[in-house]
Amino acid sequence: MSRDATNRDTTPAKDTTPAKDTTTSSSGPVRGRRARSRAIDWDALRLAAREVCARAYAPYSHFSVGAAALADDGRILTGCNVENAAYGVVLCAECGVVSQLHATGGGSLIALAYVGAEGQPLTPCGRCRQLLWEQGGPGLQLDTADGIKTMAELLPYAFDVDDLGTPPPTKARRSRT
C-alpha cells in the first residue's frame, strides 16, 4: 500500500484553521480548561502521523494507524497502534501519544492528527476520545475527514474530573531531565 497518497490535501482551507477558544461552545459541557490560541501546522502533524503509522504493529487487523499531537509547549508527540494476540488488549495510537506526553514532561494537547496507512484522516474510537479529553480538554482540535473538530464536538457531555466531585489533579509541568 502506498503511504504517499496526498488525496487528503484537497481541502487546504482547513490547513490554516487557527486555534479557537471553544470554552463558550454550546455543543457540550465545557469546564475548566481553556484552549490556547496558537497557529497549528496541520501539515506537519499529518506528516508525523503518517510516518509513525508506518511503524504500527498491526499483524492481525492489518489496519495501521498513526497519531501525532501538538503539545502546548510545541512538542510533537506520536503514537501508533499496537495489537496483541489477545485482541482485546490492543493499544490505540492515541495511547502512545498520551504516554509520550507525560513521559516527556507533561502539559496538555492542543491539536491531533490521526491517520490510516493511506494517510486518510480517522477519528478516535470512543475510549480514546475519553483519553484525549483528559489530556486536552474540550478545546483540543482534531483533524477529521470533515475538517477540524474540537473534542467538545466529538465527545459532547464528556465525563470529566468535575464529575468526580473531588479537586482536579495537579497538572504542573514536570522536568524533562
Residues engaged in binding Zn ion (CB under 5 A): 92, 125, 128
Q: Residue by residue, what is the 3-state secondary structure of 89-133?
A: HCECHHHHHHHHHHHCCCCCEEEEEEEECCCCECCCCHHHHHHHH
Shortest gap between Cβ of 138 and Zn ion (angstroms)?
Answer: 19
Residue 83 known to be catalytic: no
Nearer to Zn ion, 54 or 125 (CB): 125
For Zn ion, the nearest residue by Cβ is 92
Residue with cell 499483524: 59
How far is it, in rounded angstroms, from Cα 171 to Cα 31? 15
Nearer to Zn ion, 19 or 155 (CB): 155
Contact 46, 113 (CB under 8 A): yes
Shortest gap between Cβ of 156 and Zn ion (angstroms)?
Answer: 18
Nearer to Zn ion, 19 or 122 (CB): 122
Residue with cell 503514537: 79
Shortest gap between Cβ of 132 and Zn ion (angstroms)?
Answer: 9
Instruction: Select which of 51, 83, 94, 153 is catalytic.
Output: 94
Give the catalytic positions in this structure: 94
